[in-house]
Amino acid sequence: MRMKKNMGYCLIPKSRRHRIVQIPVLSKEMVSVTVPRRQHDSLELVSNMIKTLSSIAFCLVLSAPAMAEEFTVTQVGLSYDPPSITVSPGDTITWVRTGGTHDAVHGNPCFEADSQGLFPDFPLFDIPLTGANPTGSWTVPDAAPGRIPYFCSVGSHCQQGMVGEIIVVPREGSRVVVVEQQGLDFIPLEIEVSPGDTVVWNQNNGGHSVHTASDLSTCTQDDVFISLPLDFDYTQVVWEVPENMPETLDYFCIYHCELGHVGTINRADTCEPIDLNCDGFVNGADLAGLLGDWGCSGGSESCPGDVNNDGTVNGADVALLLAGWAP
């Protein structure tokens, strides 16, 4: 069952004298922050801003596109209910037993997914559903196949139709970058992404893989980010770019690396000055960063809070940030 998201929206209606900033909060009510429209650097403004920071903290959690969800699959007789669920990286699936002895094993029915040493995480899960272990959970990793089949390996349950599937799609609100495998090419060869974006690789022909590299010149995998097949059984790889994504991440197909079947993922490092933490949003986190730099002088190089680069972090910077508010 998909749990409903409880999100508000940040609206910035114009008013003559004041700018009203509405912030999404846990309840349906909106928090209004009223700040003087004219820029000035009085201490009163700062103290008002600090007072509103606790409200804005609510916004920090909800303004991120990624919000993990919980799903439940119930074993009913020789079936999983629902037999197919659609999830995103970071979501958690819990299987619940109602009777008998069963399990939920990742694999193409009715064989457990075989790593052959190439995919160390396969099978992705093998969850017993017995009297002693009536429930079990699995959290979808950052990198996952777009479709994950699973089955019950007990007796002939699988042969009798006890199978299920997990469809992994980019999280709602996530920017999606698509790479197509064509022959021994990944197209485009280079992409640029930010944490929170989702990269999708599509298989078009032949058997391949996506393995991130610690050393591309020797086709050595990093065992950190991605190690997944891209073939007839697993036609898609979905990767939600994590915060610890390095500046540059090379990857290769483990079958054809020496033949040049490789690609590169670059971390986008261009962001607006008012997006202080460079997360793609201008929100309370950036405002907090700016206020943390209050009074700092020496230019935006040494004081990121000096968003207008006039030599001092002051009310003018706060005004500029609020004018570009985009949570």
Please tell me the distance from the alpha carbon of residue 144 to that of residue 134, in angstroms, as a whole number.
Answer: 25
Q: Which two tokens stand for residue 190?
A: 């280079």
- Alpha-carbon gap, residue 199 to 223, rounded angstroms: 18
What x-and-dash track marks residues 150-189 binding Cu ion by CB under 5 A?
A: ----------------------------------------
Nearest-approach distance from CB 70 to Cu ion, in angstroms: 36
Q: Which is nearer to Cu ion, 234 or 325 (CB)?
A: 234
Residue 138 or residue 251: which is nearer to Cu ion going by CB? 251
Among 272, 276, 318, which residue's Cα sits nearest to residue 295? 318
Q: Which is nearer to Cu ion, 83 or 183 (CB)?
A: 183
Chain-centroid distance of CA 305 in Å reads 27
**Which is nearest to 31 in space by CA: 3, 64, 46, 53?**
53
Residue closer to Cu ion by CB (options 153, 181) is: 181
Residues 196-235 binding Cu ion (CB under 5 A) are: 208
Instruction: Name the minimum Å distance from CB 296 to Cu ion.
Output: 51
Q: How far is the CB of 113 from Cu ion (least distance, A)?
A: 19
CB of 144 to Cu ion, least distance (A): 19
Helix or strand run (H / E) with residue 291: helix 284-292
Quote the CA–CA distance of 83 and 64 in Å, as a whole number.
30
261 binds Cu ion (CB under 5 A): yes
Q: Closer CB to Cu ion, residue 97 or residue 208?
A: 208
Alpha carbon distance 81, 104 (integer Å)? 12
Minimum separation from the CB atom of position 236 to Cu ion (A)? 15
Using CB under 5 A, which residues numbered 106 to 145 contact Cu ion? none
The Cα 262–Cα 260 span in angstroms is 6
For residue 291, the tally of other CB atoms under 10 A from its CB is 17
Nearer Cβ to Cu ion, position 71 or 201?
201
Q: In the complex with Cu ion, which residue's Cβ is closer, 44 or 190?
A: 190
Choose among 323, 318, 321, 311: nearest CA to 43: 318
Measured in whole angstroms, the distance separating CA 116 from the mean position of its chain's CA atoms is 28
* Least distance to Cu ion, CB of residue 230, Å: 8
CB of 207 to Cu ion, least distance (A): 7
- The pair of structure tokens assigned to 102 is 């069963």
Region binding Cu ion by CB under 5 A among candidate stretches 3-11, 142-150, 231-239, 247-255: 247-255
Q: What is the radius of gyration, based on Cα positions, of the chain? A: 24
Of residues 140, 143, 168, 253, which one binds Cu ion by CB under 5 A? 253
Determine the interface stretch with Cu ion among 74-82, 241-249, 251-259, 317-325 (rule: CB under 5 A). Answer: 251-259
CB of 233 to Cu ion, least distance (A): 15
Cβ-closest residue to Cu ion? 253
CB 250 within 8 A of CB 262: yes
Which residue do the tokens 């694999």 mark? 107
Positions that interact with Cu ion (CB under 5 A): 208, 253, 255-256, 261
